[in-house]
Structure 1
């Protein structure tokens, strides 16, 4: 049985990312495929999350918009996007949005969450098309402040919001995407 083919990146991933445009950095993250990965977030990142827009406002501030349709996989018993799924999606999307401006090796792996606060305003039923606006408010050497707003695409009604604070961590020796 042959090994699955994976997309390999250069040894110096940080330098490779620095040479790319903000849009191409995010597309590269979304294009990584791990067919045997059983993590909860893999189907959302690999199949559902679509990049809509990237605005790099400065070296430490960017706005990124993603789109996706609420899948049954992420719904609760009442047929709406589960709150825990929303928190996970906010965590992933705001972290991916950081790649638009990350020029620091300590952020290449997305860092770790310190605080993730989600406020839920209204349900998002299965099949609803949503926009997720991610605001990288500031990204310093070791700490980052991110915000997210999940909206219905059809009318802009806010589903939920998040405040996300992250800390940079060093990549493990030999770490590769």
Structure 2
């Protein structure tokens, strides 16, 4: 069985990652490529997710906006973005948004999810251009609160919202930045 290539930053990027600007860190994460990795996260990050804007409002508060087109791969039987897919997309994007705040020895690995609550308000049909606004509301030494709002790009109507609680964890051996 062939060895699975895991999504991770290259050694060259990892060596400088903590010195990058918030936007550079987010772009580095979005640039990770593993073409044979068929995981949901790989497909979304590599093929759909695009960074639109990064606003660092303080040393613990930021808003990051991503754009994507709803792909059939993420739709349910009615042709709309699946609620479970929305939850995974919120999880990935709010976690990536943390890079707008992360710094040496502080949240650079994104931590782990404690609780994620997604409220779906209306459908997002296949082909819909969407904006995902991710807010880092607060980051402490061990806990963080993130929020997300998924909107239709054409009119700004809210499709779903998310509240995401995270916990800091040590970086897995071999993944140290």
TM-score by length of 1: 0.91
Report if the CA contact (8 A) 1:106-1:170 is conserved: no
- List gaps (5 residues or longer) in structure 1: none
- After superposition, the Cα gap between the structure-2 partners of 1:176 and 1:32, relative to the gap in structure 1 and judged at 3 Å, is farther
Q: How does 1:1-177 map to 2 (within 5 A)?
A: 8-10=10-12, 13=14, 16-175=16-175
Instruction: Give the deviation of 1:66 after TM superposition.
Output: 0.2
Between the aligned partners of 1:34 and 1:89, the Cα distance in structure 2 is 18
Instruction: Give the deviation of 1:105 after TM superposition.
Output: 2.3
Between the aligned partners of 2:12 and 2:35, the Cα distance in structure 1 is 21
Secondary structure at the aligned position of 1:115 is classed as strand
Instruction: Give the deviation of 1:106 after TM superposition.
Output: 4.8
Structure 1 segments, 4+ long, off by >6 Å, are none
Which one is further off, 80-89 or 29-38?
29-38
- List gaps (5 residues or longer) in structure 2: none
Report if the CA contact (8 A) 1:130-1:150 is conserved: yes
Q: How many matched pairs? A: 171
Instruction: Give the deviation of 1:95 after TM superposition.
Output: 0.1
TM-score by length of 2: 0.91
Between the aligned partners of 1:20 and 1:146, the Cα distance in structure 2 is 22
Between the aligned partners of 2:109 and 2:19, the Cα distance in structure 1 is 17
